[in-house]
A and B are shown apart, each in its own frame.
Chain A
């Protein structure tokens, strides 16, 4: 009998903590979403530019872009973020907390996104380029009007995957003391010792964000698919 009461007690305590702390996460959720939004946006721009540079087939440019991708892929994001915020000031470059996090995450995402774009562009049938060029289009016109619209559509599933990774990776910004979900989780956890409900809330928020995001991307994908059989 007693163990049932104890169980009910702990369930009640769990929900009390959840109800109490769920709203307290809101500022962190907003920070996570801001971080994710800007790092995805900037990362996509970087990824696009790097993919375009890589397709120029100029040796020097390819060396530079390969160097960038190697660095990003070959070192931990945690290290990259710390390096930008704690390391760069010794070179005289001081960047605020939030921009540091956005730049670090965007550079990271950009490397992966550039590979996604490059793969998608290279997957477009060569005949498409030939048809465009044989009409008299310039290289850029055929890229813009024929290749990129098709490549973009083809890259959405992989891009969506990367965006979801970006949401979760933003949690690493807590190491440079950005008050996002993960940092709040640790603070509330340490203050209350209610680890289980606090981490439960944090997980639920991340899950909600990633689920909404993948729903949206799925919708976009279907919308762009109308002209395919």
Chain B
């Protein structure tokens, strides 16, 4: 990879750091300036004035706001978000325990989105304006317009009536509940431990939540891939290949696909923000017990420290995903590597 691309990535990293900084500032202002005393939330309505003062002192709530922000930021960088106002345990510890569940769900979703969205988009472009294209257009529109919680519920409902032994709640069956592995990703842990039954069980549990979560992304990717393929088909270099007698299949898969993958990848980066949001809902419907459902609980109980951590970690998710996508696009598209070198 050229040094120009390295410079481009460096600039993106600095930009993303800026994003996280502003996000931290916003959530801090929201949490501190808006009425509601964190110490009061932690201790409940029966606490005495001395107890409150003591906890406020301990949490640094009486410091000037800029100092509080610096302390909060310093802690966040070290991965220290203070203690949960409800359980009293370190927030970082609680989140770390729940992160693998969400990671597994999100990764599976991304794989499904690409594995279905790209090929269907290619097919739609290839058989453009046929009945097949029309059906796919309706499917993709349904994916984009139907709320993900409705998809999740419909899948559960379908299973309840027609697939009665298919699991619709949780991450694995109760008989395996004492199993735990190094990575926390059950599918991988099952393989590492040589327990194929566990991997299979985890996959069965994962299928519906991941499908429900990926529907809107499948629709988006399908649409974008279709229009990108159609647009690139008209370009001169593709026409040249065709006139040289290169078979259509090779033109499509070796040349067109590479070019047309850039737009959907870019969209995926932006989509990632709503993916995280929808994960909250899908995790709730399927009792997934991940980071997102924990965040929801924190919001309901007004656990400010946990909410701040959840928002920042979600932001990190988004930033890292977009960075990876930038790298991927750079690998696919040499023009970007060259252009950014300037």
Q: Do A and B come from one complex?
A: no
Residues of chain B whose beta carbon lies under 8 Å from any beta carbon of chain A: none
